[in-house]
């Protein structure tokens, strides 16, 4: 019994004395690859490339198209959507998105969406009023033309 106790104690002590090396990026080739792709994205960002990638399916609405143009025009950021990105594309996109958030802030995209919505709503109202005015002018012109035809 005493021998069994000493044997168990020996095993417990020897298990604790073996320091376990924490995993590093070098232990996983796929993480090394992602890290090197991330460095490319950081370098591209430093060289002026600004691409914010939405990973996943995006429904392309009129507002989405307006927002993408708004971001390029106002911030020189190209918005992209990657429905089924490869591993490399995802690594690049996440690093580039992180660089944009570091520069402009974590809430940058959400705040620009809100600003763009306000501008889009204004633009939509102006377009609606313009369409109504054009429609009235067309009706007036059509009414004048039909009057001329009836008088002949």
The whole-number pLDDT of residue 56 equals 85
Task: For residue 131, report the phi and psi dihedrals to the nearest 5 degrees.
Answer: -65, -40
Structural domain boundaries in the chain? 27-123
How far does the chain reach from its first CA to its final CA, in angstroms? 125
CA 142 centroid distance within chain = 48
Q: What is the pLDDT of residues 9-67, one digit of tens each?
A: 556 566 555 556 666 656 666 777 888 999 999 999 999 999 999 988 888 899 999 99
């Amino acid at each position: 019994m005493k021998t069994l106790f000493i044997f168990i104690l020996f095993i417990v002590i020897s298990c604790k004395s073996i320091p376990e090396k924490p995993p590093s990026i070098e232990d996983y080739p796929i993480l090394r690859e992602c890290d090197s792709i991330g460095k490319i994205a950081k370098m591209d960002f430093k060289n002026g490339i600004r691409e914010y990638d939405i990973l996943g399916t995006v429904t392309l609405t009129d507002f989405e198209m307006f927002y993408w143009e708004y971001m390029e025009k106002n911030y020189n950021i190209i918005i992209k959507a990657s429905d089924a990105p490869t591993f490399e594309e995802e690594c690049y996109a996440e690093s580039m998105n992180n660089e944009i958030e570091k520069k402009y802030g974590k809430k940058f995209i959400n705040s620009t969406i809100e600003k763009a919505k306000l501008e889009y709503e204004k633009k939509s109202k102006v377009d609606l009023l313009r369409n109504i005015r054009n429609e009235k002018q067309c009706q007036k012109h059509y009414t004048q033309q039909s009057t001329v035809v009836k008088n002949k």
